[in-house]
Structure formats: structure tokens, C-alpha cells
Structure 1
């Protein structure tokens, strides 16, 4: 302690290099009050003012280290002021002292009692004595960090005069380091907003704008490179940070937008978009014609989608900004009308849908920017498009014009501008009627889609003409798409005019009271009526009549049940509440079950299947108490099942949809019965249903004693079926899959023993394919079981848990044959396909070898998954794949000609494109000629889709090693 209380500390610092390790002791003495920091400075005078620069440098490093280790709230105002003045004075010292001074002052300026009044003095000396751009990168960075701290006190920034600003722009002028620039750009916008620029506006903008557009490529050796896009994104807000930059900024971006350099165009459009957040609408006035000309040129670009999208975004931002002066400045209206006239001309001259759509998109972009622009565009374009349609251009252009009218209406509705365009918009349904009156399917579909969108415009006098066409379609059309849209359109009209549709359609055209007397197109009319029955005004009338047909066991009852099942399974039509209401009011389940019980042994399997699904759908909509009442009412079904397995279909549709809160005393008996059916029945469909019942019971029964009891029943029952019989073992494997799925979904650890049995089967040449199917069953959502429609218990990340356990159990897996090996990789594909990309990325080193090895096997589903994963790794984790290219490239080359799936071929070609983009020329050159030869046949692929990817991949490989191509990526 005595050393730093006396002047001898200077000698210690000069002679003893190990003294830097003593700074914690000095800090302790300062904190304990044994030593005042000002006395420490006085005691260090010998080293701080030593004639030798090396010694002064050592002294400043030592004292700066102490400052950095002191708590920021320890020194009082007087001490901080003293130390600050000392550091400011040190700025005049030798350049070797400067780094320590800057580090120390960073610590001071962050102290609690630091006074901003000292900033002016510090920066005056700093800008005078320290040429910023002559310092090393880290020291420049520290200067910028000190400047950034000024943003903490915006009011003080306003007091700094032009000398400070001049010093600041001189300090950053010429900065070239990407990390320093990124830091500078990050705080400049806030800094510029609060400082007074005065007469230095042009100089400040010039210093910043010299970096625009950013043309920078990071070093390949940089472990965490700053990208060009990072810099471009950060620079953009700086160039339009304050209104004073307006004129210079617009002149700059127009100049760069007109250049031939793509990145200049992209950055200019991004700058225009960003500038609209800062500049006033009047700023753009003198430049509007030029801006529109430049944007229109980029919007019309044939191939560069990114450039076109950014041009649209910039146009939208500009119109939105100009709209703020819509009622006070004519410039807004003139600009929008200029866009309008240009695009009207483009539409009138369009000979292809692509050109029409391009012009239409510009108008929609403009209309979407503000309510004012929306009114101008829609008021003019709706009558113009109606007239355009009547000039009878090509069929495709007429259909495109109908779609465009719907887009304009949607835009006006979005902005709440329908009242302003009412007189023009009323023409849209009339044009739709003209379109649907055309016998062509394309015209009718376009017209019906548009009338659905613009249903609020439909007047009562047009209802009957539309209905005439729609009902004709329902009765006579054989096209599924046209039938579907026709039914949807009738539904839409019925919601607006229920009384008219009831009279014209339900009681008139469909003749509900004598529905089955007319057999012509009965199924289509039934589909329409069951669709309409979802509307409250129609429910009672239609459902009552249909259930009457079912209860009387009419020969057409199966058609009614099929129509009801088709419509009621559509959740967009029938909500849970709606189905529950129908069941309560009309006894739907009783009617359907009554019919099923009579037709069970004589009815067609397809018709009965519709009935089972309808019961399951209705049951799933009911609250628990109603479900229990129905189970009680049909308790005898369980007894019948034990004598006749056909009744199991009824049991399954009743019990599959139960809510989690229900526990029925019959569950144990049902479990015994279901296992027996699942393993003994000769009917595959019934065996699957038995597995579904078992899975639902095990998954949904509550935790605790009820679950343990039911699970014990299950395991004891299965013990009786242990056998070497091949057929029984095959059925057991699939049952294990259902059990594993049910248990892992609910979060129970008991799934593991069943998964182990599946893995054991996976190692057998006889059962490996079935085991792979069991894995698929676990990982995929089943349409009729354990999905959210039927209220399963589903824990978060259960698929991730499956991956972890599958990985662990197959860690030492040794395939006994090629069939087993293929099934093993197929199982992996099912597991990996359902994993999140976070896990796929994290586990890349484990997964990649499996992916590459699997490419040798002829399984379409597996290859689709694995080639997709490989492409992902090449694009996002190229370093992981780099060492495996020698193995991957020959396999991928074969798959570019894989005959069973064009998507496998496309994925393989995409992999080749990404390889060429992601790796250095040096790494790729040994493969270049072989790859070009392997890709050549794909250029003649029978699918145009594949040929497009082949051209892209081969072109990219041709560029490998070409002049101008970087040796390192």
C-alpha cells in the first residue's frame, strides 16, 4: 500500500511490469478511503510527465486501467472534473499516449457525476490536437463512441456551435473501416436531428453521401463480417436524417437511380422510401416528374423482381407522403393523375396479361398508398375498365380486367371510400353478370369470384339473373371448380337476400318440399342446400326436410347423408356452436345412427362411411355433458360389438371425439375389445379404427389413477398377444406406432418402451418397412385421429422429443441388409421432415451424414425430404457441407435424372445452384467439368419446370473460374 501513497509509485510503474496486476488493491484502498484519486495522480506525476514517451505511455495505461475498474458512481463531481481536465490536457501529448487517453475518457464520460459542460472543452482540444483519420481503427472507434455518448443529452447537442460540427465531420471524413462506418451510421441520424447544422449543411451531407451507394465486399477471412447490405441499410437513414438534406438527397438518389449499376438503383429506391419519413411533401415538388419517370422504368423491369418490388414500395411511400397535402397542394393530385394517365395508356396498349397486370399493379400500389389516391384511381379506373371490357380484347385480358375491378373495390373498401365511388362501383356487378352469362367456364368463374368479393354492391334486381345462371350450373355442370364456386356464390347471395333465395332457390328451383321426386342432379342440389343450411334463416327449413328423408329410410337417404357430411365438415360453414345447435334442435345424431343401424349390413361401405364421419364431426362439436348423454343412450353398442365387429364402426365414431374431461366406466371394456379387434380382425379399416380408439383413450384419459388403471389394462391385455406369428407381429408394430404417438403427445415417458419395440422391428428385414410406417404415423398429423378436431392432449415440442429419443435409440444401429438400411433412412426422413429449422440447424453435424447417405436409395418421399434438407444446409450452413461435397455431388448428379419425381430433380438442381453460389472457386474447380456434363441431360428434361432450374444451375457452374469471378466467396 505504501508504494501508491508515495511518489515512488512512478518508479514502480516504470520498472515493474507486473504492477498492472495490483490495480484491484489500489481500487480497494480508494474505496476504503485510504487513498484519494487526486493524490494518486500527484504521486504518479513522475511517470505521467516523464521525459521518455514510453514511460508516459505506461503511466497513462496504468491510470486508465484504474479508472475503468472504478465503480461509475464512486467519484464525486470535483474528482471527476479534476480527472477530466487532466485527460483533456493529455490529448496534447505524444500520439502514443492518445489510445489510453481515449479509453480513459470513455470511462469518465460514463460516470455518474460527469458534467456535460466538459464536453465542449474536450472536443475542442480533441479536434485540434488529434487527427482522427491518422489514428488506428480502434482509436477512431473510441472517438466515435465518445461522440455517440452526446446523444444521451440532446439539449446539450443543440448548444454546440459550428466549430464542433466542423470538427466532427472532419473526424469522420475518409473513414473506410466497415465496422467503424456501421457504428457511425447507427448514431448519426439521432445526432443530426439534434445538432444545429447552420451553414455546414452541404459539407455535412457531402461527407456522408460519399459512401452512397455502398460498394463493399467483406473479407473472406473475417469470422463475423459486416455485409454490404448491413452498411447500406444503416447509411440510408443518415442521408435523409434531417429536412435540410432534402434537395441534396433527392438530387443524389435521382442521379444514382439513373445509373446502370444495380446496387445503386436498389439503394436509391430504398433511400427514396426512407426519405418519405423525414422530408416534407413540398420537398419533392420540383423532382416529381423525374422521380416518376425513373420509378416507372424500374417497375417495368422484365426480370429483376427485387428491383420491381422496391420500386413499388418507393412509389407507395411517395404517394402516401404527398397525400398529406392533398387539400392544400395541387402537386399530389397532379402526380397521381400522371401515374393514372401513364398506366391507362399502358393498359389500353396491352396485348398480353403480363403487361396488363404490370400496369394494374402500379395503379393498385398508388391507390393503396392513401385514401385520397384511392378515390382518384378507383373513380377513374372502374368506368375505364368496364369500357375496356366492352371493347372485347382477348379472353384472358377480359378476365384479368374483371379481377382488377375486384382489386379496386377491395382497395376502396379498405380505405372506407365506398361512398365516394358508389356511382362508379355499382357497375361492377352488372359487368359480372355479363361475364357469367357467357357459357365459357373461365368467364363464369371470374364473374362469380368477383361478385363474391363485391357482394355489398349487388342490387336486388340482379339477384334473379344471377340465380338463373347459378342453378343451371348446379344442375348441369360437370366441372368441379365451376360447381364449387357456383355453390359459394349462391351462399353469398343468400346471406344478403335470404328471403329472395329462399323463394327462388330453396322452394323454387330446388323444390325442397318435393326434393327427391326429381332425380335429376339430386346430389348437386343436395350439396347446395346443405351449404345454405349453415345460414340461420335456412337451417330449420332445410335440415328438417333432410332428416325426414333419412328417418324414412328413403333410397336417397345415402345422398342426403353424403351432402350433409361434405358441408358440415367444412368449419368455414359450420362452427362448433352451429353443429351443437342443430343437434339440440333436430336430433341429428339420432337420425343418422338410426339409419346406420338399419343399413349396417346391407348399405354400401361408402355411404356408411359418410354417416360415421358425420356422427364424429357432430359429436366433436358437443359439450361434455351432451356427449355423455349420447354415450349413455347408445351404451348397448358395446355389447353388440362383442358379437358383431361391424358395430365397432359406430363405437369408434362415438368415442373418437370425446372431450378430455370425460371418463366412462366402460373404457376398460372398450380397451379390451379394441385390442382384440386391432389384432384379430380381417378388415384392415376396422383394425385401424380400433387402433384409433385405443390411441384416443390412452391420450385423453386424465392424469393420475385413471390413466394408470387404463394403461395397466392395456399392457396386461397386450401380454396375451405375444407371439411369433408373422401376421400378428405386423399388426402389433402398427399398434405400437399409435400407442407411441398417443403417449408422446400427452408428454408421458411411457412412450419409450413402445418406441423401443418399433426400433427393434426396424432392424428386422421382415418388419423394417412396417416399422418405418409406424414412425411416419407418429410424426405426421392423421386426418381422422389425434388431431385438434378431436381434442387430444398435445404437449409442446413432442416432435423434438421424438427426434431426441429416436437419435438416442438408433445411435448404434447396424442395418442387417440393404432393405433395413433403406427403411432406416426412410424413418429418418419422416422424423426430420417435421422438425423445426432451429433444431435442423443446431444438429447439422449429426444430421448431414444421414442426409447424404440416404441419397443412394430409391424412395421418392425420402429423397424429397433429404434433398430439401441438403439444399437448406448448403445455403445457410455451407461450412458444414464443405467437407462432404465429394460424397454429395455424385449422388446429386444421379438424382437430377430421377424418373419418379420432378420435384426430386428440381431439388437436386437447386442444390447444384447453391453449391456454385456458396463455395470458393478453388474448391469447385475440380468438380466443374464433371458437373457440367452431368447437368447437360437435364436441359432436355420433359418438364419445363425442371428445365428452368437446369439452365440456372448449369449457367452458374459455367461461371465458376470465369474471368472476374472471385477466387474466394
Structure 2
């Protein structure tokens, strides 16, 4: 043990680092029991009581730092009492000593055994002999932490201090200006105010916070505390609503600042009042409601001011009304005053006060659903009835005007019903009023219902359906009887496409017997006579009812009959198969499995596809999709059984068998090996891929299906010698065909390469080499570029179970290495192929190789190949948007070429991309852009007259951005 001597202590005073090291050593020895705290204080006495101010400061700093590093439960009450007496006495010392004293007091208050009676002594002494605001920011911050600790742990003792504590607290905070300290004060003071009685000092406490309102603070970029103005404002408002006594001064303060021209001041005032409404009683708010509403009206009722202020004002009004809901007298008083202002304007739909009135009306409904809704609905009903009478006598012109008005009113009524439903009051609304509104709506739905689409107001009918959908439980039996007839007419209309699905579903949930007899049975009974357009609508509507047990069997019977029945017309069968896929795409895995288990659905689909009847390709596509969707929800063992049972039966030379294979293999689990079928699948799929040179649409689809299956099979193959040998045979066959200029073989080879590359197989390198050589081929060069696009592109419908990490990066580097110098010295096809691969490479890979890639991108922009130009512009755009330094150095080439491409008449997409790239270039430093500004602005004038609207819009945006370069507004 090193003795604690005066010389050793004085050595610690030479620097801050030495002092902290000495404090750490002393605290360590105290904890080890080598020193006692009283011994330490005794040895340091010469410094603590020195007549030299500097020594007293250093001594107190050393003692305080040592105490901070002791465990919080180490010192006992007697030791802490002794130290408290010392530090309390030190509070009377010179102000230069006080920072170290405050640090020591903070350490003492953190000690678990500190005697409670010591805390008032410390605080009273500080309040009497020192002023918090006379200290530096750091010491003030520590004193605030002391006050927080004391209020949390010694509340009884502080309450016994009475007004002395509260007065000292107010004086400590009053005048604080540092945002970091204010952030801390605003954080802990709300709880303190709620916990302690303010006595006669309530107004003084309020004023120390009111002086900061509204917060005017712009954070410094260099401030590590990262305090924002909005955070400070939110915490300040919490302080201002911390005591119910503050309401007397809070409302005048908020309303005074609401009159400010500053948006932030208005928003802060509205938010302060909102918090007051939440924290204070409705009775206390009611005394001030008249002045609040008067001030609020001027902000939200004209409806033409700042949207943020209007939104905040509506939130405030809704909060006040919602808080008053539990006190009916106050709530009805509020509602009467607000509704009395706006109801008259709800009758004037085309007036400018209609929109703000409707916004306030919906807020009223949110606050008191029944009281407000009754008055608002009656106002609308009176207006609707009046319009009906006017419409009967004024002819078409007035009727059209009424439709426009009704559309606006129906939108508001639908929102009203939705809000009331959320507040769980929908079925308590006045039934008589609702019946009349529903009758009016059903009448509107029936108007011109049999006419052509052009003669109907689709928007109005959709709005009417929305009202009914939001208020289904309120529709009376009489109105429902009329509604069912209207729904049948809407669903079976030969050209009208209206969304009745949700309405029918809600009716079915509440009134299943009625819906079954009045809708479902009618639609099913007459299904055969409807057009395909109507049949598709019927399927969509009925499938939403499938989840209701009352309708499940009827819906399924209809779907199964037309999907798998005998002598069904192909159009009907296709519609039914689409319906099957709608069921399977519901996202409910249990439903899919149940449909398979209860109906042997895969077996039915297979039987249909492979049956004696020849199905169209669209029908086969639906069957393949359905098998895929079912299979991917089954267990691995179930998938294996299905595949091994059905796959050997297929003859892949036919379209039906090929699509069934697509269904079976499309989403097959990666753990299921196909080694037993691998050679057969390779041979059959390759043959189908090369089958004929027809260019018909169906033939192209079959080729695509075969190649995608081939890609998937190759991707999932096990890497054994037998599989490699079989694959090599197929590749060699394709290469031999390529020698005969067979374009189909090139495409097939590309899909095989894609599967191998994604799986990370080394076998892909040889195929890439072959395709690279073909880029110079006079007949197959263009096809070879397409092959590289196939390899690099994303294909959502293609399922490749084996995915090598970073395979895109590997493909990029492989192709870059294979092409090498050929990119500059040979035909344009090399560049096109590389750009296709570059498009699929991650941006980080592009950026890491920008010195190699950049010149190729610029070269590609000089070519006349539409697709390559578009891809290159998109890649350049991503770099420029990030203000990449490489492109900054090459603006002299990029800007002129973009200007030329903005006039590229072969493609609108290229012109738009070039203009967008020019726009993003304006984000580069102004001094660099000024050289080009005049030329760009003049050249872009031509694009302003482009024959495509989207190009003109982009040109205007880009030219404006260049106009602003150098004006100080370009950021």
C-alpha cells in the first residue's frame, strides 16, 4: 500500500489527468479497505482547508472525483453524514470552489445510505448562499440533476421544506438559456410539478416556462447532443400543462401566440391547447371554450390557410370534443356552438365554406357521434329532399347539378358512418333519418341502371355504394329488399363495372338467408345465360362470400361445375379456372390445404389438363398456376409423393403435359431431388425448347415454359458426375445446332447458363465463353446479346431454389473478364451484352469498378440502340443522384450527350431519362455548372415543344432547375 501523503496529493494537483488518476487510485484503495474515508479526508485536510484558493479547489475536486468512483452502496450513513456536513459548509466558500462542491454533492445524493435529513440542509444552504444561474453551464446541469435526484428519492423531506424548496427550484431554473440544460429540465419537471404542491407559487412556476414559449431555437450542426426544436417544444408544452392550476394562464398565453404570423408559433399554440384538453378536466376547459373556439374559427373555418395549421386546429377541436364526451352537458354545449356555426354552410355545397364545414362536422361526429350525427344527417336529408323536388321539375340540367351535389354529400355521409362505426355507435343512430337517406341512395343507384356506361354517373354510384357499405347494419328490411334487386342489376350489367363486393359480403354476414335467396340463388340459377363479362363479375362477388359457412358449398359447387364439368364451353371453363386461382391466392394456407384435401384438387386439375379435351393455352396456364399454389403449401413429403406419382406419366412434347410439369416443378421444395428424372427432363425440355421455328404466340409461350423449366431443373441438380455428363451432352447438342445458325439453341443455352450461374456452378463459364464468341457472328450476334439479357434479368415467375451468395457480382466479373478489350475493339454487340449484365449488377459493384465501367457507359450513350441507351441513362442517373465524383469529372461529355438524347425521337423513355439525368446534374456544385448553364437552357427549349406530354413536363422541370443554377435558389 502506497501511503497517502501530502506530497503525493500535491503531485496529483499538477494536471487534470493526474488528479483523475489519483482519484481512481484512492477510491480503489478505499474499496479494498486499505484506506478509510475519514482517513482520506484527514490526509487531504491541508488542501481542503487551505487558505490558498487554488489548493482548496484542487483538494475538493480530488475528493469529489474519488466519491464519484466509489460504489453507490459502499459508504455508511455516519460517513455520509460527515461528508454532507463538509460539503454543506463548502457551499459557503468562494464561487470558484463551488463547481467541485456541486460535483461532490451529486455523488453523495447517489449514495444509497445518505441520511434523508441531510438533503434539506444541502438544498437550503445552496439556495441561501449561491445562485444556480451564476455558474457555468456544466455546473448548472449537475445542479439540475441534483434537484431531480432529490425530488425522486426524498420527496417527503422536500415537502416538509414547504415553499423554500419550490422557491429555490424556481430561482434555479429561472433564466436558464442553454438548450441542453433546458432539455433536461423540461424532461423531469412535469413529474415533479405533478408530485409537489405549488402552494402560492403556481403562477411563478408557470412563468418560468411561459417565457420560453414558443420555442425559438435552431440547433447547431456541431452540437453532439442532437437536440431538435420540435423535441424541446414538445417537452416545454408538457411542463406548461403539468398542473391543473396552470389553466388560468395557459389559455391566454396560447391564444396570444396563436395570433402570431409565424407558422411554428401557431402550431405550438394549437398543440399546447390540445395537451391542455387531454390533461385538464372538461369542466376547467369549458370555462375557456368560447374564447378558444372564437380563436380557432379564424384558423380552420375559412379553409384557405396553411394546411398544417388547419390540420392541427382540427385535431385540437376533436380532442376537446372527445374529452368532453363523458360529460353530456358540456359535450352538448360544445357541439351546439360548433354545429351552430357550420350547419348552415352544409346546405350550400358549392360555396367555399362547404369544405371546411364538412371537415369540422366530421370532427364533431368523432367527438359526440350520436348528438352530432343526428343534426348533420338531418341537415343533409333536408337538402337531399329539396333537391329531389327541384330535380323533378327542372329537367336534365338541374338533375346533373343535383348529381354533382349528391356526390359531395354522399362522400361526407360515408365518412360520417365510418367514424360512428369506429366509435361503436352505428346502430344507435336515428333509424328514421337513416332509412330516408338509404332510400334516396337506392333511388340514385336505380336511375339509368339499364343504360350504357356513358349515360351513367359512375362516381356518384360508387359514392352511393360506399354509404351503404359503411352503414349495412342500419339498412331496413324494406330498403334491403330494394337493394338486392339493384345489386343484381349492377352485377349483371353487361358493361358496368362497380364495386359491390364489400357491400354484398357485409350483407351476407348479417343476413345470410336473405342474400342467399335474393342474390346468390338468382345469380347461380341464371349463370349460363350471362355474358363472359358478367360471369367474371359474378365469380368475383361470390368468391368473397366463400368464407361464410352458409355460402361455401354453393360457391364451390358453381366453381367446380364450370371448371371440371362435362361439355363446358371453353370460355366458361377459363373463367372458372381463374376463379379457382382467386380462391388459392387468398393468402390463407389452411384454406388451400383444406381445398386440396377435401376435393383432391390437384388430381382434378391434372385430369382436366390431360383429359381427352384439348384446352387452350390460357386455360393450361391457369391450371399450372393452380397446381403451383397448392403444392407450395403442402409439406415436403406430400410434394414428393405428388411429383413422383404424376411426373413419370407426362409426355412433355404436348402443351398440356408441359404446363402440368410447370405446375408440378414450378415451386417444388429444394430438398426434393430430381436425379431420377434429370436425364429425361433435360432431353424432353430441350427438345420442346427447339421444337420448330414457328413464331406464333402459343408456340413462343411453350418455348418460354420449356426453357424456364430447364433453367429451374439445371439450377436444382445435384453436382454428381452423371448429372454433369447428361448436361454436357445437351450443351454439346445445342452448340452443334448453333453451328447451323439455330437461334432457338442460343436462347435455350442462355436459360441453362442462367440456372447454373444462380446456383454458383463452374459449368456456366464454358457457356458464357460460347455466347461471347457468338457476339461477332453475322447471323446470331443480335440473338447472343439477347442471351446475355436473359442471363442477367430478374424473372419473378421463375423459381430457382439454389441461389449462390453474390452470384450477380460473379457474373459481372466473369463477363467483364471474357469480353475484356473486345468491348472497345469489336462490334457494338459486345457493348450491348455487357450493358445488360451491368444493369443486373448491384450498385456497390458498379461503383467499385466505376473506372472500368464509366468509359463503357459513356461509349454506350453514343450508340443508336434504344434499350441500351435507356439502361445506360438509368445507371448514370443513380450515380449522379448520389453526386458521384467520377461523373462530376466527366460532365463535359455527359451534359452534351444528354442534350442530344433529349431529342432522340425513337423512344420517349430515352428522352425522359436524359432530361431527368440533366435535372439531377444540377445538384453538383454551382461553380462547375455555370460553364454549361447557358447552353443547356437554350438547348432545352426544343424539348418544351415535344409532342409527348410527359417529356414536356420533365423538360420544364429540368429547364427550371438549370435556370436557378447560381441564383441562390438552386438548393
CA contact (8 A) 2:916 2:958 kept: no
For the residue of structure 2 that corresponds to 1:34, the secondary structure is coil
How big is the shift at 1:438? 2.4
CA contact (8 A) 1:208 1:239 kept: yes
How big is the shift at 1:245? 1.2
How big is the shift at 1:525? 2.9
How big is the shift at 1:822? 7.5
Question: Is 1:119 aligned to residue 129 of structure 2?
Answer: no
* Residues 280 and 273 (structure 1), Cα distance of their counterparts in 2 relative to 1, 3 Å cut: same
For the residue of structure 1 that corresponds to 2:326, the secondary structure is helix
CA contact (8 A) 2:494 2:531 kept: no
- Corresponding residue of 2:534: 524
Question: Is 1:366 aligned to residue 364 of structure 2?
Answer: yes
How big is the shift at 1:758? 7.7
Question: Is 1:689 aligned to residue 705 of structure 2?
Answer: yes
In 2, the alpha carbon distance for the partners of 1:882 and 1:148 equals: 55
- For residues 934-945 of structure 1, what are the structure 2 equivalents within 5 Å? 943=949
Question: Is 1:731 aligned to residue 741 of structure 2?
Answer: no
* Residues 215 and 287 (structure 1), Cα distance of their counterparts in 2 relative to 1, 3 Å cut: same
In 2, the alpha carbon distance for the partners of 1:240 and 1:463 equals: 51
* Residues 433 and 631 (structure 1), Cα distance of their counterparts in 2 relative to 1, 3 Å cut: same
* Residues 86 and 926 (structure 1), Cα distance of their counterparts in 2 relative to 1, 3 Å cut: farther
For the residue of structure 1 that corresponds to 2:288, the secondary structure is helix
Question: Is 1:395 aligned to residue 403 of structure 2?
Answer: yes
Match of 2:446 among 422, 427, 437: 437
* Residues 132 and 261 (structure 1), Cα distance of their counterparts in 2 relative to 1, 3 Å cut: same
In 2, the alpha carbon distance for the partners of 1:217 and 1:892 equals: 43
- Corresponding residue of 1:461: 478
How big is the shift at 1:263? 0.6
- Corresponding residue of 2:466: 449
Match of 2:649 among 637, 646, 657: 637
CA contact (8 A) 1:896 1:909 kept: no
CA contact (8 A) 1:189 1:241 kept: yes
In 1, the alpha carbon distance for the partners of 2:149 and 2:941 equals: 60
For the residue of structure 1 that corresponds to 2:426, the secondary structure is coil
- Corresponding residue of 2:340: 341
- For residues 42-121 of structure 1, what are the structure 2 equivalents within 5 Å? 42-121=42-121
How big is the shift at 1:212? 0.8
How big is the shift at 1:240? 0.9
- Corresponding residue of 2:391: none
- For residues 582-621 of structure 1, what are the structure 2 equivalents within 5 Å? 588-598=601-611, 603-620=615-632
CA deviations over 1:757-788 (Å, ceiling 9, x no partner): 889989997656654554442xx7x2x454xx
* Residues 162 and 949 (structure 1), Cα distance of their counterparts in 2 relative to 1, 3 Å cut: farther
CA deviations over 1:412-449 (Å, ceiling 9, x no partner): 22222133215133444323312211232222222233
CA contact (8 A) 1:470 1:486 kept: yes
- Corresponding residue of 1:27: 27
Question: Is 1:380 aligned to residue 375 of structure 2?
Answer: yes
* Residues 623 and 184 (structure 1), Cα distance of their counterparts in 2 relative to 1, 3 Å cut: same
How big is the shift at 1:10? 5.2
Question: Is 1:214 aligned to residue 243 of structure 2?
Answer: no
In 2, the alpha carbon distance for the partners of 1:814 and 1:399 equals: 65
Moved more, 418-427 or 295-304: 295-304
In 1, the alpha carbon distance for the partners of 2:225 and 2:919 equals: 27
* Residues 435 and 70 (structure 1), Cα distance of their counterparts in 2 relative to 1, 3 Å cut: same
- Corresponding residue of 1:149: 149
In 1, the alpha carbon distance for the partners of 2:439 and 2:299 equals: 36
CA contact (8 A) 1:852 1:887 kept: no
How big is the shift at 1:66? 2.2
How big is the shift at 1:649? 1.3
CA contact (8 A) 2:347 2:379 kept: no
How big is the shift at 1:266? 1.0
In 2, the alpha carbon distance for the partners of 1:850 and 1:288 equals: 70
Root mean square deviation, CA, Å: 4.8
In 1, the alpha carbon distance for the partners of 2:207 and 2:772 equals: 70
- Corresponding residue of 2:571: 558
- Corresponding residue of 2:394: none
Match of 2:417 among 382, 395, 409: 409
- Corresponding residue of 2:194: 193
- Corresponding residue of 1:254: 255
How big is the shift at 1:947? 5.5
* Residues 829 and 929 (structure 1), Cα distance of their counterparts in 2 relative to 1, 3 Å cut: same
Paired residues in the alignment total: 903
For the residue of structure 1 that corresponds to 2:171, the secondary structure is helix
CA contact (8 A) 1:425 1:457 kept: yes
In 1, the alpha carbon distance for the partners of 2:205 and 2:656 equals: 86
- Corresponding residue of 1:38: 38
* Residues 456 and 831 (structure 1), Cα distance of their counterparts in 2 relative to 1, 3 Å cut: farther
CA deviations over 1:321-342 (Å, ceiling 9, x no partner): 222323xxx2221112222233
* Residues 728 and 18 (structure 1), Cα distance of their counterparts in 2 relative to 1, 3 Å cut: same
- Corresponding residue of 2:663: 653
In 2, the alpha carbon distance for the partners of 1:273 and 1:952 equals: 43
- Corresponding residue of 1:836: none
CA contact (8 A) 2:532 2:571 kept: no
In 1, the alpha carbon distance for the partners of 2:442 and 2:810 equals: 61
Moved more, 398-407 or 893-902: 893-902
**Structure 2 gaps, min length 5:** 388-400, 449-455, 693-698, 776-780, 862-867
- Corresponding residue of 2:428: 420
CA contact (8 A) 2:669 2:801 kept: no
In 2, the alpha carbon distance for the partners of 1:937 and 1:270 equals: 50
* Residues 15 and 860 (structure 1), Cα distance of their counterparts in 2 relative to 1, 3 Å cut: closer
CA deviations over 1:324-366 (Å, ceiling 9, x no partner): 323xxx22211122222333233222316x8645433332233
In 2, the alpha carbon distance for the partners of 1:760 and 1:117 equals: 91
- Corresponding residue of 2:778: none
CA contact (8 A) 1:487 1:531 kept: yes
Moved more, 416-425 or 843-852: 843-852
* Residues 542 and 184 (structure 1), Cα distance of their counterparts in 2 relative to 1, 3 Å cut: closer
* Residues 380 and 826 (structure 1), Cα distance of their counterparts in 2 relative to 1, 3 Å cut: farther
CA deviations over 1:274-333 (Å, ceiling 9, x no partner): 22332111221222122223334333543633223222222222222222323xxx2221
In 2, the alpha carbon distance for the partners of 1:107 and 1:811 equals: 66
For the residue of structure 2 that corresponds to 1:324, the secondary structure is coil
CA deviations over 1:555-595 (Å, ceiling 9, x no partner): 61332332441464256869555555555555555554444
- Corresponding residue of 1:702: none
How big is the shift at 1:814? 7.3
How big is the shift at 1:666? 5.1
CA contact (8 A) 2:270 2:316 kept: yes
* Residues 417 and 763 (structure 1), Cα distance of their counterparts in 2 relative to 1, 3 Å cut: farther
* Residues 111 and 729 (structure 1), Cα distance of their counterparts in 2 relative to 1, 3 Å cut: farther
In 2, the alpha carbon distance for the partners of 1:462 and 1:892 equals: 67
* Residues 260 and 114 (structure 1), Cα distance of their counterparts in 2 relative to 1, 3 Å cut: same
Moved more, 50-59 or 670-679: 670-679
In 2, the alpha carbon distance for the partners of 1:382 and 1:390 equals: 12
In 2, the alpha carbon distance for the partners of 1:32 and 1:554 equals: 97
- Corresponding residue of 1:128: 128
Greater C-alpha radius of gyration? 2
* Residues 591 and 13 (structure 1), Cα distance of their counterparts in 2 relative to 1, 3 Å cut: closer
* Residues 486 and 415 (structure 1), Cα distance of their counterparts in 2 relative to 1, 3 Å cut: closer
How big is the shift at 1:206? 0.9
CA contact (8 A) 2:835 2:872 kept: yes
CA contact (8 A) 1:437 1:469 kept: yes
How big is the shift at 1:716? 4.6
CA contact (8 A) 1:864 1:903 kept: no
CA deviations over 1:506-545 (Å, ceiling 9, x no partner): 5546534xx54x4x52452354157426534445446546
CA contact (8 A) 1:671 1:713 kept: no
For the residue of structure 2 that corresponds to 1:419, the secondary structure is helix
In 2, the alpha carbon distance for the partners of 1:582 and 1:82 equals: 82
